[in-house]
Amino acid sequence: MAHVAEWKKDEVKEIKDLIDSYDVIGVVDLLNIPAKQLQEMRKSLSNHALIRLSKKNLINLALEDCNKNKENIVGLSEHMTGQPALIFTDMNPFRLYKILEDNKTDAPAKPGSTAAKDIVVPKGDTGFEPGPFLGELQQIGANARIDKGKIVVDKDAVVVEEGDTVSPQVASVLTRLGIKPMEVGIDLHAVYEEGSVYPADVLAIDEEETIAKVQDAYMKAFNLSVFAGIPTKETIATMIQSAHSKSINLAVEAGILNSETSDIIIGLANGKMLALAGKLSDDALDDELAEKLVNAASAAPVAAAPAEEAEEEEEEEETEEEAEEEAAAGLGALFG
């Protein structure tokens, strides 16, 4: 680095030391973030991450020098746009992305800024009395009119489409309406971890959808393990319960008497006996059997088998709920 200013050498060394000290390194864009808000964001992240702003060429030099110890970290260079800076943390990349997104705040549209999404003037009462503002609304494309002494917009109007530039006239109208269509915050463009570079679109996941998919996959794996007879710490209890129920059913069908089947077998035999007796004429029944038939007919029907099935279904539902809770808890560390 001959003929290079000493401060630049020191800067590259400090960045290299930071890269070597952290497991997760990200590239962020600090363009158009007011100094006060950037200071507040840095303060809010002080317990989670460290942001280092420097010149792009010095950051690239540091990344190249660190590529031996952290393979493929130079891949971050491809994601440096705007006013790049490095963010250092030991957090999970997905949690880092979530924290940065959650810290973004709504902001007014500035002339010359680019709309990240369609900017809409919503329908309804603007709160303004008739005057020049009516013409201003109409000029930017809002279908505005006078109604009951107030300026109202008849329907939602897209005044700036996604990707277009906000004109001074539109910015003025939006500000007067109190519409803040822009977001101010730190944009995380990419994150490096253990040899891989994850771009923002990979980190921007739908938490609820992802958790639901993991829970569904967990339950399918759980059921496969049970039906395939593969015992694990998660499935062994269910497999033993299932085997116990099947053994009871087999013993009952085979007429094998033991402490768990005798009452069931006797009850089934008694039921068959009463069903057969019910087909006989009254003359063929003795008093005791006739009385049993009367009592059986008057008693409320008890659906033993359905009750057992309901209990089994309830147990299965509880097992599924527990499995879903375990899957969701396992993702807690991922999303923060």
pLDDT at 205 exceeding the cut of 60: yes
pLDDT value at 3 more than 80 = no
Q: Quick one: pLDDT at residue 201?
A: 83
Inter-residue contact 241 to 315 (CB < 8 Å): yes
Smallest CA-to-CA distance from 46 within 104, 89, 95, 92 is with 89
Q: How confident is the model at residue 221 (pLDDT cuts 50, 70, 90)?
A: very high
Tokens representing residue 90 in the block = 């030991």
- 160 within 8 A of 166, measured Cβ to Cβ: yes
Q: Which fold has domain 119-183?
A: Molybdopterin biosynthesis moea protein, domain 2 (3.90.105)
Q: Highest mean pLDDT: which of 230-234, 280-284, 327-331? A: 230-234
* 88 has a pLDDT exceeding 90: yes
Token duo for residue 104: 């973004």
**Taking 80 as the threshold, does the pLDDT of residue 60 lie above it?**
yes
Average pLDDT of span 277-300: 75
CB atoms closer than 10 angstroms to residue 113? 16
**Three-state secondary structure call for residue 252:** helix
Axis-axis angle for helices 132-139, 168-177 (nearest 10): 120
**123-164 tens-digit pLDDT:** 888 888 888 888 888 888 888 889 888 888 888 888 888 888
Residue with tokens 């939602």: 156
pLDDT tier at 306 (50, 70, 90 boundaries)? very low
Helix/strand/coil for 10: helix
**pTM score, whole prediction:** 0.55
Question: Can you give 152-177 as a three-state secondary structure string?
Answer: EECCCEEEECCCCECCHHHHHHHHHH
Is the predicted pLDDT of residue 256 greater than 50, yes or no?
yes
Give me the torsion for CA of 258, 264, 269, 274, rounded to 10°.
Answer: 150
In terms of pLDDT, which residue wins out, 283 or 314? 283
- CA atoms lying within 13 Å on the CB side of residue 47: 2
Q: Where are the domains of the chain?
A: 6-104+185-204, 119-183, 209-335
Number of Cβ within a 10 Å radius of residue 327: 20
Residue 317's pLDDT is what? Answer: 54
End-to-end CA distance of the chain: 43
- The CA distance from 46 to 49, in Å, is 6
Looking at residue 191, its pLDDT comes to 92
129 versus 4: which is more confidently predicted? 129
Residues 6+ apart with CB under 8 A from 24: 88, 89, 90, 91, 92, 93, 96, 191, 192, 193
Query: What does the mean pLDDT of the chain come to?
Result: 82
Pick the closest to residue 223 from 308, 316, 309 (CA basis): 316
Question: Hey, what are 257's tokens?
Answer: 């008497």
Residue 307 has pLDDT above 50, yes or no: no
Angstrom distance (rounded) from CA 216 to CA 317: 14
Does pLDDT of 206 surpass 80? no
Provide the pLDDT for residue 305: 47
CB 334 within 8 A of CB 94: yes
Residue with tokens 């038939």: 293
Residue 320 has pLDDT above 90, yes or no: no
Choose among 54, 289, 331, 67: nearest CA to 197.
67
Asked if pLDDT for residue 27 goes beyond 70, the answer is: yes
Overall average pLDDT of the 192-208 stretch: 84
Assess whether pLDDT exceeds 90 at residue 275: no
Q: 271: pLDDT confidence band, cut at 50, 70 and 90?
A: confident
Mean pLDDT across 196-205:
85
Tell the CATH topology of 6-104+185-204: Alpha-Beta Plaits (3.30.70)
